[in-house]
Every structure is written in structure tokens, then in C-alpha cells.
């Protein structure tokens, strides 16, 4: 779901805006933004001690948040959208953007809605509590952190794409990737 001008840009030119974790954390519309985006509680045990900390990860990630399933018109209206595009080949769509961005990795999937965004595990090396700040330690969480959202957002039925790049992602990036037109088609929005 998106504004008509964005649907047209995607289907006709391959034009698309990707957002970063910071972009969605700062987005003021509570239906689209999420001020907890990228945050997780990590509890790690190294055989000697357990460290629990709130950390932020995904700083080098570009995201595209989409919808899957039956459209609820009330949700669409709250988001201010009037158009929709079907991605006909999810893998090829993701791959084309990955190539365009020269991403290090890419993945996609349905969001898992949870009560708490907390991950627990055992690490194979001694824990330095100073590492539990923004940055590389968050990467021990792996891809799971990108696909977890608070159950408050479950009505959105989100399907998410993620591309990891070498440098920290700015707030957003507008791309034109003509290959995307082969994998996108406009679809009618429900009237009720």
C-alpha cells in the first residue's frame, strides 16, 4: 500500500524509497513509524556471567515494509494510502534491489509479532559489558531482530525486506531500479 504517485513510480520506472531503522524510529505517524524499531533486549550468558541490556541494531540496514494478506480498508485509510502494488516475484525483486545497492546480504519475510522484543542466548566468548552499546554487538542477534515487532502492530500484517550495506544507512534513500518494473503490477484497493 502506498500513495498513488509512489505506486506509479514503482510500476513505471522502478522508483522506490527505502527507509533505515532511524527513519522508522523518527517517523511521526504512529501507524507507519515505530519508535522502538531496531531495539531489542539481549540477555547473553558466557558461562560465567549473564549480561542483560537494551541494544539497537540494524544501523546498516535498508528496509522496505510491505503488507501481506487481506487488506483492511480502515488500516489503509489510517495510513493515508490510496494505491497498492503486487510484487509478483519476491525473490527477484529483492535480488534486483540487492544488486542495485551492492548490499552485503538481503532477506525478507513476514514479521513475527511478539509481546517483548527480547532475545536470549549463550555466547562463546567472555562478555564485555561495554560492548553492549549501539554497534557491532547487536549483530550477534542476527536477522531475527529485523523481523520482530511489538504485537501492538499486528494489525499491519507486515512483510518486510531488508538489505544490509557496508556503511551506516542514512534516514532514507530514493532509488530507481528499472528491473523492478518486471516484478510489480498495480492492484485495485478494496472499497470497504
Query: For residues 52 and 33, is the Cβ–Cβ distance under 8 A?
Result: no
Q: How confident is the model at residue 127, as a pLDDT?
A: 67
Task: Indicate the pTM of the whole model.
Answer: 0.84
Tell me which residue of 36, 59, 26 sits closest to 138, measured CA to CA.
59
Q: How confident is the model at residue 134, as a pLDDT?
A: 45
Q: Which of 36-50, 67-81, 118-132, 147-161 has maximum average pLDDT? A: 147-161
Reply yes or no on whether the pLDDT at 82 is more than 80: yes
Q: pLDDT tens digits for 163-184? A: 999 999 999 999 999 999 999 9
Whole-angstrom distance, CA of residue 140 vs CA of residue 38: 13
pLDDT range class, residue 28, cuts 50, 70, 90: confident
pLDDT range class, residue 80, cuts 50, 70, 90: confident
Q: pLDDT tens digits for 126-135? A: 766 666 554 4
Q: How confident is the model at residue 71, as a pLDDT?
A: 74
Q: What is the mean pLDDT of residues 107-116?
A: 90
Residue length of the chain: 192
Strands 118-122 and 39-45: parallel
Percent of the chain at pLDDT > 70 equals 88
Reply yes or no on whether the pLDDT at 116 is more than 90: no
Whole-angstrom distance, CA of residue 106 vs CA of residue 173: 16
| Strand, coil or helix: 24 | helix
Whole-angstrom distance, CA of residue 155 vs CA of residue 97: 27
Strands 148-150 and 118-122: unpaired
Amino acid at each position: 500500500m502506498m500513495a498513488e504517485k509512489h505506486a506509479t513510480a514503482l510500476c513505471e520506472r522502478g522508483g522506490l524509497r527505502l527507509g533505515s531503522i532511524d527513519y522508522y524510529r523518527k517517523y511521526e505517524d504512529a501507524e507507519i513509524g515505530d519508535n522502538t524499531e531496531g531495539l531489542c533486549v539481549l540477555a547473553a550468558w558466557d558461562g560465567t556471567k549473564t549480561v542483560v541490556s537494551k541494544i539497537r541494531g540494524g544501523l546498516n540496514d535498508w528496509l522496505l515494509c510491505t503488507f501481506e494478506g487481506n487488506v483492511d480498508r480502515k488500516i489503509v485509510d489510517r495510513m493515508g494510502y490510496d494505491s497498492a502494488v503486487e510484487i509478483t516475484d519476491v525473490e527477484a525483486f529483492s535480488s534486483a534491489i540487492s544488486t542495485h545497492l551492492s548490499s552485503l546480504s538481503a532477506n525478507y519475510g513476514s514479521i513475527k509479532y511478539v509481546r517483548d522484543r527480547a532475545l536470549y542466548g549463550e555466547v562463546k566468548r567472555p562478555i564485555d559489558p561495554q560492548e553492549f552499546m549501539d554497534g557491532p554487538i547487536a549483530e550477534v542477534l542476527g536477522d531475527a531482530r529485523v523481523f520482530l515487532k511489538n504485537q501492538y502492530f499486528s494489525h499491519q500484517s507486515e512483510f518486510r525486506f531488508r538489505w544490509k550495506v557496508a556503511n551506516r544507512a542514512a534516514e532514507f534513500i530514493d532509488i530507481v531500479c528499472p528491473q523492478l518494473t518486471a516484478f510489480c503490477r498495480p492492484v485495485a484497493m478494496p472499497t470497504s
